[in-house]
C-alpha cells in the first residue's frame, strides 16, 4: 500500500494583492551584487545553491503578484532562500551587467539581448553557467513551487520541465477541454490552412484538469476586446500532451505531444502565433489577464511585432492610447 501523502503545514494567508502600478519592492533577501554573472554563479555554487535571476519592472502587476502572493507564502520564500541566490534585474535599468562570456551590457540592453518579452521572467542557472530553466511570465504559487523543485533537485538531468510539470502538477479545473465556436475543427492540417487562409493563426495549447485553462476560456476569451481581436485571425486548439495527429504550419506530420515538445512548451495554457507563411510570430506561455491577452492579439494582428521588437514597449504605447481616448486600462 502506498504511503499517505505528506500533509503540508498550514501556511499563513498572504497579504491582500495590490496590483497598483507603483515601484515593486524586492525582498530584502535578494542579493545585492555587481551583476557579474560569472561571480554570482560561482558564489551560489560555493554555497551549495544555484543562481536565480529575476527580470522585472515597476508598474508590472505580475511582478507585484510574484512578490506579494508567491513570496508572501513562507514555504516558497524558505525554499527559494535555501536553494537559490536571487538577483534582480530592472529590464529598463542602466546598471552594467557582465554576462558569463565576459561581455558587458546595460540592464535594458541585456534584457533585449535575451528577448525578455514578459515580466517577470526568471532564469535559473546551473553551477557551470548553463540556463537550465527559463520562466517567461508569472507562474501561480503551485506551479512556481514545482519550478523551484525542478531546478533545486537537478531534475533537468533526468527529464524536461514539461514532463516534470505534468507529473507533479496535480489535477485542478475541469476534466474536459473547453470548446469555443471560433476553434478550427480537427483533423488539423495547419500548413494547408495557413496557405489557404492568408491570415494569422493562433494555436492554443492546453490540457485537461487545468484551472488556468478554464479561466482563460471563462474570462479571457469572454472579454469583448479579446473577442473582437480573435475575429481577425484563425484559431486552433491542441492538447499539449495529446496523441492526436496533425500537420504543423511548417508542414511536419507530428502528434500534438511531439509538436509541443518541439516548441519547448511546458506551461498551459500557451498560445503560439504563426504568420501566413507558417513562421512563428509571437508566443504567450504564461498567465495573462484580459488587457494583456488582448494586447498580445493586437501585437500580432496589427503586425506591430514586425516594427516594435519589444512587446513591453507596445503595451505601454497601447495603454497610453486607450487612456488618451478616454478608456480605462485594467491591468489586473
Which CATH number goes with the domain that contains 264?
3.40.30.10
Q: Are residues 95 and 136 in the same domain?
A: yes
- Residues spanned by the domain of 163: 37-168
What 8-state DSSP symbol labels residue 189? Answer: B
Q: Is the pLDDT of residue 320 over 70?
A: yes
Mind listing the pLDDT tens digit for each residue in 37-60? 999 999 999 999 999 999 999 999
Q: Where does residue 67 fall: left (phi above 0), alpha (psi -120 to 50 degrees), or beta otherwise?
A: alpha
Same domain (yes/no): 122, 232: no
Burial class (CB in 10 A: 0-12, 13-18, 19+), 92: middle
In a domain, 156, yes or no: yes
pLDDT digits (tens, 9 = 90+) for 107-161: 999 999 999 999 999 999 999 999 999 999 999 999 999 999 999 999 999 999 9
17 assigned to some structural domain: no
What is the pLDDT of the chain when averaged over all its residues?
A: 92
Please indicate, yes or no, whether residues 143 and 209 belong to a single structural domain of this protein: no
Which of 136, 168, 200 lies at the terminal end of a domain, its last residue? 168
Count of domains for the chain: 2
Q: Are residues 199 and 297 in the same domain?
A: yes
Dist CA 224 CA 226 (whole Å): 5
79 in the same domain as 160: yes
Strands 201-206 and 96-98: unpaired
* Confidence band, pLDDT 50/70/90 cuts, at residue 173: low
DSSP string for 130-150: -EEEEEES---HHHHHHHHHH
- How confident is the model at residue 23, as a pLDDT? 64
Q: Is residue 154 part of a domain?
A: yes
Is 116 within the bounds of a domain? yes
pLDDT at residue 176, as a whole number: 87
Instruction: List the beta strands (DSSP E) in 57-164.
Output: 84-90, 96-98, 104-106, 121-125, 131-136
Residues 201 and 83 in one domain: no
User: Are residues 271 and 317 part of one domain?
Assistant: yes
User: Is the confidence at residue 21, as pLDDT, over 60?
Assistant: no
pLDDT digits (tens, 9 = 90+) for 197-216: 999 999 999 999 999 999 99
**Does residue 181 belong to any structural domain of this protein?**
no
Shared domain for 196 and 296, answered yes or no, is: yes
pLDDT tens for each residue of 230-267: 999 999 999 999 999 999 999 999 999 999 999 999 99
Asked whether residue 208 falls in the same domain as residue 271, the answer is: yes
Residues 6+ apart with CB under 8 A from 214: 173, 174, 178
Residue 74 covered by a domain: yes
Helix axis angle for 141-152 and 161-168, nearest 10°, is 130
> Which 8-state DSSP code applies to residue 114?
T
- Shared-domain flag, residues 316 and 244: yes
Res. 70: pLDDT tops 80: yes
Let me know if residue 238 belongs to a domain. Answer: yes
Which of 134, 168, 202 lies at the terminal end of a domain, its last residue? 168
Same domain, 147 and 224: no
Structural domain includes residue 175: no
Whole-structure pTM value: 0.89
The answer to whether residues 160 and 127 belong to one domain is yes
Amino acid at each position: 500500500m502506498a504511503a499517505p501523502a505528506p500533509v503540508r503545514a498550514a501556511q499563513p494567508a498572504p497579504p491582500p494583492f495590490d496590483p497598483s502600478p507603483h515601484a515593486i519592492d524586492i525582498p530584502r533577501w535578494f542579493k545585492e551584487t555587481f551583476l557579474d554573472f560569472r561571480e554570482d554563479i560561482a558564489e551560489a555554487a560555493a554555497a551549495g545553491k544555484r543562481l536565480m535571476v529575476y527580470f522585472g519592472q515597476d508598474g508590472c502587476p505580475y511582478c507585484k503578484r510574484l512578490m506579494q502572493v508567491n513570496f508572501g507564502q513562507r514555504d516558497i520564500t524558505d525554499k527559494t532562500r535555501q536553494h537559490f541566490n536571487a538577483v534582480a534585474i530592472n529590464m529598463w535599468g542602466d546598471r552594467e551587467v557582465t554576462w558569463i562570456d565576459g561581455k558587458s551590457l546595460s540592464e535594458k540592453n541585456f534584457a533585449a539581448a535575451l528577448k525578455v518579452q514578459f515580466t517577470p521572467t526568471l532564469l535559473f542557472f546551473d553551477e557551470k553557467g548553463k540556463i537550465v530553466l527559463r520562466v517567461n511570465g508569472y507562474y501561480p504559487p503551485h506551479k512556481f513551487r514545482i519550478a523551484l523543485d525542478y531546478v533545486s533537485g537537478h531534475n533537468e538531468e533526468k527529464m524536461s520541465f514539461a514532463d516534470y510539470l505534468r507529473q507533479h502538477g496535480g489535477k485542478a479545473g475541469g476534466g474536459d477541454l473547453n470548446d469555443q465556436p471560433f476553434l478550427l475543427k480537427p483533423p488539423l492540417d495547419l500548413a494547408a490552412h495557413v496557405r489557404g487562409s492568408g491570415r494569422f493563426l493562433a494555436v492554443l495549447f492546453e490540457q485537461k484538469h487545468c484551472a488556468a485553462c478554464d479561466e482563460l476560456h471563462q474570462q479571457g476569451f469572454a472579454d469583448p476586446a479579446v473577442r473582437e481581436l480573435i475575429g481577425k485571425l484563425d484559431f486552433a486548439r491542441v492538447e499539449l500532451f495529446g496523441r492526436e495527429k496533425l500537420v504543423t504550419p511548417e508542414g511536419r506530420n507530428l502528434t500534438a505531444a511531439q509538436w509541443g515538445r518541439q516548441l519547448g512548451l511546458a506551461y498551459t495554457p500557451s498560445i503560439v502565433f504563426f504568420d501566413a507563411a507558417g513562421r512563428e510570430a509571437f508566443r504567450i506561455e504564461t498567465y495573462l489577464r484580459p488587457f494583456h491577452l488582448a494586447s498580445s492579439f493586437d501585437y500580432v494582428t496589427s503586425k506591430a511585432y514586425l516594427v516594435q521588437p519589444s512587446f513591453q514597449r507596445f503595451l505601454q504605447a497601447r495603454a497610453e492610447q486607450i487612456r488618451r481616448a478616454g478608456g480605462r486600462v485594467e491591468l489586473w
